């Protein structure tokens, strides 16, 4: 497959600027770059979701015009989105063959044959999913396998995967890589989009780096390294992964005493200080998110006490949490952090509408001035204040989630997976912003599944496992070996 001189522009931005991109049969090619570099736009053009303004696409040397996803599938092209494109109320078999349930003039579905063919595809992927199960009952890893089976069902020869491991555990990622290697051996080309550079070096033969809608370079993974890729992606050398800061930690702003609830949080106590980044480490399922949801009021606790600046706080709802100057950047910005169909202004001012209403009337000018300040100070890239969040990159969406809680005048910010699904350049910008916020006297609780991030950004680290506090680390004890040994300690 070859894309020649592809250009695509949206209002206010050139998403793809005369790019050339080609892949060979049986190749696993990484496509990497910052959010907004043009990766997803290029794949959507390749799969008929978007149309290029100019340029040509060649399949096996022949020019093709791809006007919709059905035509892309006929040409052997499939795209697996980061957010799965499945119908949860239908079975695995129905999803695999959706749109192809009947053949010819036959209006009846041969369910036995459909399930047989679906089971064969699932088995080829080394899985044991009952194809009669509803998709709503599947784990993220099983849904990923169904998406790949869908691509195989239409005999795809090129499969693009967008952030395929974002919701998978370590063992599930290893299984996915086994599947990708099998696809490669059978001559199928995989275009692998990921911000996780270690995965690129493990599974990909080659890598194409994009920046600002342009192809910067394509090279063999064996001929490069992480630092070189990062420099090409951001357009500058990355001298350090985590920015340095001088901590000026003050009085206790939040105290949690013997908090329990939901069967997942068990008698946890800790303190948070002014001007501090408090990291919470632990294995997936350890109770980290449930703990901070109780502090914010998204989940009710069964027992225990929360004190804000020395005074007992009754927090039974997010409204209560917000009233006590707590902001919550949730781990899934698209599901619980933002209203994607609304514009930037509406998303930011929603947390404190009284700032932009006067005598019952919405003051649009006031709202625009407030939001413009955040756009400038947080360097949010957008073509206008009225731009829908659906058309904004992940890194800029994350900044908007932070901006909405800063607009609420939150003094305590809970950040659950603050850099999930964003690129290295955007991550660094979030880290700089965190440093700036604590320098202003705000306090941050940060949860991250990326242990280096917890180690690199935290003044103290709390280690949680099975809903219980296992230890508190400071100074030289904040290292990966210590965190893991404490996390795995028996009660």
Q: How confident is the model at residue 466 (pLDDT cuts 50, 70, 90)?
A: confident
Find out whether 451 and 417 touch, Cβ atoms under 8 Å.
Answer: no
Percent of the chain past pLDDT 90, that is, above it, reads 52
Rounded mean pLDDT, 173-184: 90
SS3 breakdown of the chain: % helix, strand, coil, rounded to 5? 35, 25, 35
pLDDT at 105: 64
pLDDT at 309: 94
What homologous superfamily is domain 2-234 in, according to CATH? P-loop containing nucleotide triphosphate hydrolases (3.40.50.300)
Q: Which residues of 470-482 are buried (b: 16+ CB within 10 A; e: fewer)?
A: bbebeeeebeeeb
SS3 (DSSP) at 287: coil
DSSP 8-state symbol, 335? I
Same fold, 2-234 and 252-487: yes
Domain boundaries, the chain: 2-234, 252-487
Rounded mean pLDDT, 120-126: 86
Q: Which residue do the tokens 């985590």 mark?
A: 242
How far apart are the C-alpha atoms of 16 and 401, rounded to whole Å?
A: 27
- Which fold would CATH assign to domain 252-487? Rossmann fold (3.40.50)
Residue whose C-alpha is closest to residue 425's, from 382, 393, 448, 456: 393
**What is the tens place of the pLDDT at every residue in 442-452?**
999 999 877 88
Q: How confident is the model at residue 71 (pLDDT cuts 50, 70, 90)?
A: very high
**What is the tens place of the pLDDT at every residue in 202-212?**
999 999 999 88
> What average pLDDT does the chain have?
88
pLDDT of residue 318 exceeding 70, the answer is yes
Higher pLDDT, 392 or 193: 193
pLDDT at 238: 56
pLDDT at 299: 92
Q: Which of 51-65, 99-113, 176-190, 271-285 has the lowest mean pLDDT?
A: 99-113
pLDDT of residue 167 exceeding 90, the answer is no
- DSSP letters along 355-424, please? GTEETTEE-HHHHHHHHHHHHHHTT---S-TT-BGGGS-HHHHHHHHHHHHHHTT-SEEEEESTTTT--H
pLDDT at 240: 60
Q: Is 32 exposed, middle or buried (0-12, 13-18, 19+ CB in 10 A)?
A: buried
pLDDT at 491: 47
DSSP 8-state symbol, 343? B
Rounded mean pLDDT, 346-354: 94
How far apart are the C-alpha atoms of 38 and 32, rounded to whole Å?
A: 10
Antiparallel, parallel or unpaired: β 252-261 and 303-308: antiparallel
Q: Which of 61-65, 168-172, 214-218 has the lowest mean pLDDT?
A: 168-172
pLDDT of residue 33 exceeding 60, the answer is yes
Q: How confident is the model at residue 278 (pLDDT cuts 50, 70, 90)?
A: very high
**What is the tens place of the pLDDT at every residue in 294-317?**
999 999 999 999 999 999 999 999
pLDDT at 124: 83
Rounded mean pLDDT, 175-179: 89
Q: How confident is the model at residue 262 (pLDDT cuts 50, 70, 90)?
A: confident
């Amino acid at each position: 497959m070859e894309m020649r001189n592809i250009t695509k522009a949206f209002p206010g931005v050139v998403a793809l600027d005369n790019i050339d991109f080609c892949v060979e049969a049986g190749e696993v090619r990484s496509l990497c770059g910052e959010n907004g570099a043009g990766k997803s736009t290029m794949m959507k053009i390749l799969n008929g979701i978007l149309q290029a303004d100019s340029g040509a696409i060649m399949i096996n040397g022949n020019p093709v015009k791809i006007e919709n996803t059905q035509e892309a599938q006929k040409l052997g092209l499939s795209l697996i989105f980061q957010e799965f494109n499945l119908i949860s109320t239908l079975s695995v078999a129905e999803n695999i063959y959706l749109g192809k349930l009947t053949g010819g003039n036959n209006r009846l579905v041969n369910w036995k044959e459909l399930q047989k063919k679906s089971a064969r595809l699932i088995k080829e992927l080394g899985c044991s999913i009952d194809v009669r199960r509803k998709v709503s009952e599947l784990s993220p890893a099983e849904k990923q396998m169904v998406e790949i089976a869908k691509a195989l069902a239409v005999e795809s020869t090129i499969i693009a995967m967008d952030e395929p491991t974002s919701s998978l555990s370590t063992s599930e990622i290893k299984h996915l890589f086994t599947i990708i290697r099998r696809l490669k051996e059978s001559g199928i080309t995989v275009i692998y989009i990921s911000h996780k550079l270690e995965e690129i070096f493990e599974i990909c033969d080659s890598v194409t780096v994009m920046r600002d809608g342009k192809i910067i370079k394509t090279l063999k993974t064996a001929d490069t390294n992480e630092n070189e890729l990062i420099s090409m992606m951001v357009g500058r050398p990355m001298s350090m992964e985590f920015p340095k800061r001088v901590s000026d930690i003050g009085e206790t702003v939040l105290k949690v005493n013997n908090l329990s609830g939901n069967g997942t949080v068990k008698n946890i106590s800790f303190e948070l200080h002014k001007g501090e980044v408090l990291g919470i480490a632990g294995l997936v399922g350890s109770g980290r998110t449930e703990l901070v949801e109780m502090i914010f009021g998204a989940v009710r606790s069964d027992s225990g006490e929360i004190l804000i600046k020395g005074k007992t706080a009754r927090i039974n709802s997010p409204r209560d949490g917000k009233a006590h100057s707590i902001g919550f950047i949730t781990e899934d910005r698209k599901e619980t952090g933002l209203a994607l169909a609304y514009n930037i202004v509406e998303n930011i001012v929603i947390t404190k509408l009284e700032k932009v209403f006067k005598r019952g009337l919405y003051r649009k000018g006031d709202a625009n001035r407030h939001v413009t300040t955040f756009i400038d100070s947080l360097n949010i890239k957008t073509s206008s204040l009225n731009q829908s969040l659906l058309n904004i990159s992940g890194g800029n969406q994350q900044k908007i989630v932070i901006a909405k809680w800063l607009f609420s005048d939150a003094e305590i910010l809970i950040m659950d997976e603050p850099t999930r699904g964003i690129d290295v350049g955007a991550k660094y910008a979030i880290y700089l912003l965190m440093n700036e916020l604590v320098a202003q006297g705000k306090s941050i609780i940060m949860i991250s599944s990326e242990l280096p991030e917890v180690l690199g950004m935290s003044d103290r680290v709390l280690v949680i496992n099975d809903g219980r506090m296992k230890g508190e680390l400071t100074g030289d004890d904040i290292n990966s070996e210590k965190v893991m040994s404490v996390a795995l300690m028996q009660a």
